[in-house]
C-alpha cells in the first residue's frame, strides 16, 4: 500500500470550515501533490445547492484556479460528495472537525475532507485506479495521514505564535494556499547543498488578533508512515516579509543555538562525572 499512499496522499489537501450533519471530531490534517491541475474539490464542502452564507465551503489550498464560484479563503470551488462513475466501492462522506480555529466565524473550526471528496479530488488531478490498486482501508489511511500532517503543521505554527502570547493568545487560521511548484528560498538553498526538495508547500495566513501573519510550510518526505499516521517532516516558519517576522526567526535561531550548546555542555559534564 506504500505506493498508493505516497501518491494518493499528495493528490489533494485542505481543511474546511462549516457545520454539516455528518461531521465528527478528530485531531488531524495533511498534504498534496502529483502533477496535473489542482483538484477543484480537494478539501471539502457542501454541494453548491446546499451552500449558504453561514456554511460556505473551504477546501484545498490552491491559488491559481479560474474565477467563478470560488471560496476566497482557499481559492477552491465547491467539492463533490457524489460517487464517481466506475468507483469500485462506496466511500464515507463524513468529515472530521480539526483543532484549527477559523478566523472567520466565532467558535468555528476548519473541517477536513471526507473520503469521497478526497477520491473525487484525486480523479480531478488525473489519478486513475485499477481494480485492485486501492482498498477502502487505503482510503481511510490516506485521510488519516492527510489530517494528521495538517494538525502537526498547526502545532508548529502555535510554537511560533507563543512568542506573541502577550499580544494575542488566540491565533486563528484565516486562509491558506498551496504552492507545490513555487519553492521557497530556503528550500532552494537546501537543494543546492545537496538535500531533497520538498514535495509540497503551503502558505498559511494566521490572524494574530487582527494582524495577518504569513507562514511558509515546506513538506519533506520523512519515510515510512508511523502509528500516528505521520510521515512528513515539516519546516514551518514565518515568511520573511516583515521586520517582525525576520526578528522572530533571528530570536528562534539564537535560542536553538544557545540551548543546543548548553545541552551538549551538560551532556559532556555528565559523562566526565561518570568517568570519575
pLDDT tens digits, one per residue of 112-153 = 889 998 888 888 877 777 767 888 888 898 898 889 888 999
In angstroms, the CA 99 to CA 233 distance is 20
Q: What is the pLDDT of residue 210?
A: 93
In angstroms, the CA 24 to CA 95 distance is 6
Model-level pTM?
A: 0.68
| Lowest pLDDT segment from 42-46, 141-145, 207-211, 218-222 | 42-46
Q: What is the pLDDT of residue 56?
A: 29
- If one compares 49 and 85, the residue with the highest pLDDT of the two is 85
Distances in whole angstroms, Cα of residue 19 to Cα of each of 16, 34, 51, 241: 10, 30, 11, 34
Tell me the pLDDT tens digit for each residue of 222-231: 777 766 666 7
Distances in whole angstroms, Cα of residue 120 to Cα of each of 8, 86, 113, 130, 224: 11, 12, 11, 15, 25
H/E segment holding residue 214? strand 211-221
Q: What is the pLDDT of residue 1?
A: 52
- Which positions ≥6 away from 223 have C-beta within 8 Å? 231
In angstroms, the CA 276 to CA 273 distance is 5
Q: What is the pLDDT of residue 68?
A: 47
Print the SS3 string covering 129-158.
CCCCCCCHHHHHHHHHHHHHHHHHHHHHHH
Tell me the pLDDT tens digit for each residue of 217-265: 999 987 777 666 667 789 999 999 999 999 999 999 999 888 887 766 5
In angstroms, the CA 267 to CA 117 distance is 50
14 pLDDT band, cuts 50/70/90, is: very low
Average pLDDT over residues 151-166: 95
Cβ atoms of 120 and 12 closer than 8 Å: no
189 pLDDT band, cuts 50/70/90, is: very high
Cβ atoms of 161 and 173 closer than 8 Å: no
Q: Is the pLDDT of residue 36 over 60?
A: no
Amino acid at each position: 500500500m506504500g505506493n498508493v499512499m505516497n501518491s494518493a496522499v499528495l493528490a489533494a489537501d485542505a481543511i474546511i470550515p462549516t457545520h454539516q450533519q455528518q461531521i465528527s471530531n478528530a485531531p488531524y490534517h495533511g498534504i498534496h501533490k502529483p502533477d496535473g491541475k489542482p483538484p477543484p474539490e480537494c478539501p471539502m464542502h457542501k454541494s453548491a445547492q446546499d451552500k449558504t452564507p453561514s456554511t460556505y465551503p473551504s477546501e484545498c489550498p490552491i491559488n491559481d484556479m479560474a474565477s467563478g464560484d470560488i471560496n476566497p479563503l482557499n481559492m477552491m470551488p465547491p467539492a463533490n460528495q457524489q460517487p464517481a462513475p466506475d468507483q469500485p466501492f462506496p466511500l464515507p462522506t463524513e468529515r472530521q472537525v480539526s483543532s484549527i480555529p477559523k478566523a472567520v466565524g466565532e467558535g468555528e473550526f476548519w473541517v477536513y475532507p471526507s473520503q469521497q471528496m478526497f477520491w473525487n479530488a484525486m480523479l480531478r488531478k488525473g489519478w486513475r485506479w485499477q481494480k485492485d490498486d486501492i482498498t477502502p482501508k487505503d482510503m481511510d489511511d490516506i485521510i488519516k495521514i492527510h489530517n494528521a500532517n495538517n494538525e502537526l503543521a498547526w502545532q508548529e505554527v502555535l510554537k511560533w505564535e507563543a512568542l506573541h502570547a502577550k499580544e494575542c493568545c488566540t491565533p486563528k487560521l484565516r486562509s491558506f494556499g498551496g504552492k507545490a511548484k513555487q519553492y521557497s528560498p530556503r528550500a532552494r538553498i537546501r537543494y543546492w547543498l545537496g538535500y531533497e526538495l520538498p514535495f509540497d508547500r503551503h502558505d498559511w495566513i494566521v490572524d494574530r488578533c487582527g494582524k495577518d501573519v504569513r507562514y511558509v510550510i515546506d513538506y519533506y518526505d520523512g519515510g515510512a508512515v508511523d502509528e500516528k499516521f505521520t510521515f512528513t517532516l515539516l519546516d514551518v516558519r514565518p515568511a520573511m516579509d516583515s521586520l517582525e517576522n525576520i526578528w522572530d526567526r533571528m530570536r528562534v535561531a539564537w535560542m536553538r543555538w544557545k540551548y543546543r550548546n548548553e545541552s551538549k555542555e551538560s551532556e559532556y559534564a555528565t559523562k566526565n562525572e561518570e568517568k570519575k
